[in-house]
Chains A and B, each alone.
Chain A
Amino acid sequence: MTDRALQDLVIRALADAPFRRSPEWRQRALADPERVERFARFLARHFYFERIVHFFKYSTVLARLTGRRPEAILGQPAFAALLPSLVLGSRDSARAVAGLVVAHVKNGASAQIPYHDDLLRYEEAMMVVEAGPRVWREPTVSATKGVGSGEWVTPEKVAGTALLDLTYDLPAVLPKLLRPWTAVPEAPARPVRLIVARSRHGRVAVAKATDAIVSIMDLADGSKTLDDLAREAGLRPAELQATLQGLTELGAVRFSTGS
């Protein structure tokens, strides 16, 4: 095993609580297990603090009404109970931690915020979609041989991409929440459907989902060609191409080149 591979094992042990308990890790006896456990717990709290502060920033602003700061869960027994199962960066762990935040904030005073449930679903979706492996470095030219050189063949929905049906038009109110206000900003009561996706580099983006987007997200399973998609979704080639372009940039769809 190379030193680089060994470093990866140490990183995994710090990030992955179940792995820390495995014979594969423990038998290597690479470091004082108690010190590793303490540092891993410190890292977990830091990891989720950063994500909660970022993705639940609107709830943080509204804490002056709800009385519930999202990051408070990190000091609660429910979070401590999660620590033995957390895998930093995994979608399941993000869902579990975000769920704690939602439950905590929801129990606050929210009568003045009619769109509060929508907002929490939106923030939760952002945090969950952000989770997952990411590309830190673009592959070298030799490593990309063949990829991207073929025609787009079979589009596939990227795992983790979420469609969100909301009762209120949240995008209209979110920027107002971050500016100074005295009366809580109102959101128009009209249904919107949003798509939340993540780029290969970990950037989370949101867009309003059109009917064309919804159809493609439903149909793009990696086996259908562009012709199949156009026919089944009832889209003209130009409309399909433009929609796929947008979804690819958003990180919601990727292509197999067939090469």
Chain B
Amino acid sequence: MSPLKIGAFYNPHLGRELAEARGIDHLAMADPPRADDPWWPKIKERYTLLLHDYLGQLSEPLDERSIQRARSLAELYHTPWVAEHFQCLHTEDGTYNLNYVFPPLYTEEFLTRFVTNANALKARLDQPLVMENIPGFFDVRHSQMSEPVWLRRFFAATEVGFLLDLPHVWLEAHYHGARPTDWLAEFPLEHVVELHVAGVVDDADLQGPWIAPAEPSEEMLAFAAQAVTRCPGAKAVTFDAFSPSLTAEALLRSVERIRAALA
């Protein structure tokens, strides 16, 4: 197995620091570069860039406009793979939109939808497609199977890659009263191409922990170190923080700590 690449997200407000940073192998791109970003040319020249934008929700087929946008961003970044999420966050008629990642119901119907639409998207991309797991804060009683079972069947049917977000697994385990390592063992880790690592913090509305642009705890780093040993195909680990509130120190220190934890 070749050494894991350790990277972060491109945060444009940290362009200067990232353009000069050492010890970062790649940058994931959550948004296209702004036309007036003075650091973008250097970032593009220096780094392997991973396409991690919102392309669309695969509960429906992506339209031609979205596919062309995905293709054009993939070409701009020379990305080794294209990432999307297991999410269904707006209604079909466009009236309601959560503007935040939200998982689909884990049912046969949604499995068929995601398999069909992921296969269609995969066929239109020149790079492999990877899909990221999304946590739920509550269970919907209509779901017919657990998230790991649904994901296992999805990956078996599509052969796309798995972007394993570890804080998302940690949160699912927390809110189901399970140990994160036990919960992780249920996932189809043989498909993992990339892992996300980040911190979680308590949220006042949720009255519990949730995803945040924060440094990973020692517990999360230990969880990551254990997880990568179970992911034989993993190529990259990314510090998953993208926010104007993120400081350069926190980003650089997190990447360094992830690298040390996985060494």
Whether chains A and B associate is yes
Set of chain A residues within 8 Å of B140, measured between Cβ atoms: 6, 10, 30-31
Set of chain B residues within 8 Å of A137, measured between Cβ atoms: 56, 60-63, 66
Q: When A14-B98, A42-B203 are in contact, do A31 and B63 touch as well, CB less than 8 Å?
A: no
Tell me if A7 and B205 are in contact (CB < 8 A).
no
Best-surrounded residue of B90, B110, B138 (most CB of chain A within 10 A): B138
The residue that A7 contacts in the complex, of B61, B99, B104, B203, with Cβ under 8 A, is B104
The CA of A199 and the CA of B86, in the complex, are separated in Å by 27
For residues 2 through 41 of chain A, which have their beta carbon under 8 Å from a beta carbon of chain B?
Answer: 2-4, 6-8, 10-12, 14-16, 29-32, 35-36, 38-39, 41
The CA of A241 and the CA of B221, in the complex, are separated in Å by 62
* CB nearest neighbor in A for B106: A3
Q: Nearest-CB distance from A87 to chain B (Å)?
A: 8
The CA of A6 and the CA of B205, in the complex, are separated in Å by 25
Q: When A36-B138, A53-B244, A137-B60 are in contact, do A4 and B113 touch as well, CB less than 8 Å?
A: yes
Listed by A's residue number, 30 A-B pairs whose Cβ atoms lie within 8 Å are A2-B109, A3-B105, A8-B92, A10-B105, A11-B88, A11-B97, A12-B96, A15-B98, A16-B96, A30-B140, A31-B138, A31-B139, A35-B137, A36-B138, A38-B137, A39-B137, A39-B138, A41-B205, A42-B137, A43-B99, A43-B100, A46-B100, A47-B100, A88-B98, A88-B99, A136-B57, A136-B60, A136-B94, A137-B62, A138-B65
Tell me if B96 and A15 are in contact (CB < 8 A).
yes
Which applies to chain A's interface (DSSP): helix, strand, loop or mixed? helix
The CA of A144 and the CA of B112, in the complex, are separated in Å by 25
The CA of A88 and the CA of B100, in the complex, are separated in Å by 12
Set of chain A residues within 8 Å of B109, measured between Cβ atoms: 2-4
A106 on interface, CB distance cutoff 8 Å = no
Number of residues from B at the complex interface, CB < 8 A: 42
Summed over the interface, the residue pairs from A and B with CB atoms below 8 Å come to a total of 107
Q: When A2-B109, A31-B141, A42-B203 are in contact, do A8 and B104 touch as well, CB less than 8 Å?
A: no
A135 on interface, CB distance cutoff 8 Å = yes
B182 on interface, CB distance cutoff 8 Å = no
For residues 88 through 142 of chain A, which have their beta carbon under 8 Å from a beta carbon of chain B?
Answer: 88-89, 133-138
0/1 per residue, A31-65, Cβ < 8 Å to B? 11001101101110111001001000000000000
The residue that B91 contacts in the complex, of A2, A8, A53, with Cβ under 8 A, is A8
Known: A3-B107, A42-B203, A89-B96. 4 other contacts (CB 8 A): A11-B90, A11-B102, A12-B91, A35-B138
Q: When A31-B138, A39-B138 are in contact, do A8 and B96 touch as well, CB less than 8 Å?
A: yes
Tell me if B205 and A42 are in contact (CB < 8 A).
yes
Set of chain A residues within 8 Å of B105, measured between Cβ atoms: 3, 6-7, 10
The CA of A10 and the CA of B170, in the complex, are separated in Å by 23
B210 on interface, CB distance cutoff 8 Å = yes
Number of residues from A at the complex interface, CB < 8 A: 36
B59 on interface, CB distance cutoff 8 Å = yes
B22 on interface, CB distance cutoff 8 Å = no
Listed from nearest, the 9 A-B pairs whose CB atoms lie closest are A35-B138, A42-B205, A3-B109, A15-B96, A8-B91, A137-B63, A39-B137, A41-B205, A138-B63
The CA of A70 and the CA of B205, in the complex, are separated in Å by 20
* CB nearest neighbor in B for A35: B138
B249 on interface, CB distance cutoff 8 Å = no
B89 on interface, CB distance cutoff 8 Å = yes
Set of chain B residues within 8 Å of A31, measured between Cβ atoms: 138-141
Set of chain B residues within 8 Å of A8, measured between Cβ atoms: 91-93, 96
The CA of A158 and the CA of B140, in the complex, are separated in Å by 37
Q: Nearest-CB distance from B227 to chain A (Å)?
A: 26
Tell me if A136 and B98 are in contact (CB < 8 A).
no
Q: Nearest-CB distance from A79 to chain B (Å)?
A: 12
B207 on interface, CB distance cutoff 8 Å = yes
Q: Nearest-CB distance from B4 to chain A (Å)?
A: 31
Set of chain A residues within 8 Å of B59, measured between Cβ atoms: 4, 7
B219 on interface, CB distance cutoff 8 Å = no
Q: When A31-B139, A31-B141, A138-B63 are in contact, do A39 and B206 touch as well, CB less than 8 Å?
A: yes
Set of chain A residues within 8 Å of B137, measured between Cβ atoms: 35, 38-39, 42
For residues 54 through 80 of chain B, which have their beta carbon under 8 Å from a beta carbon of chain A?
Answer: 56-57, 59-66
Set of chain B residues within 8 Å of A136, measured between Cβ atoms: 56-57, 60, 90, 94
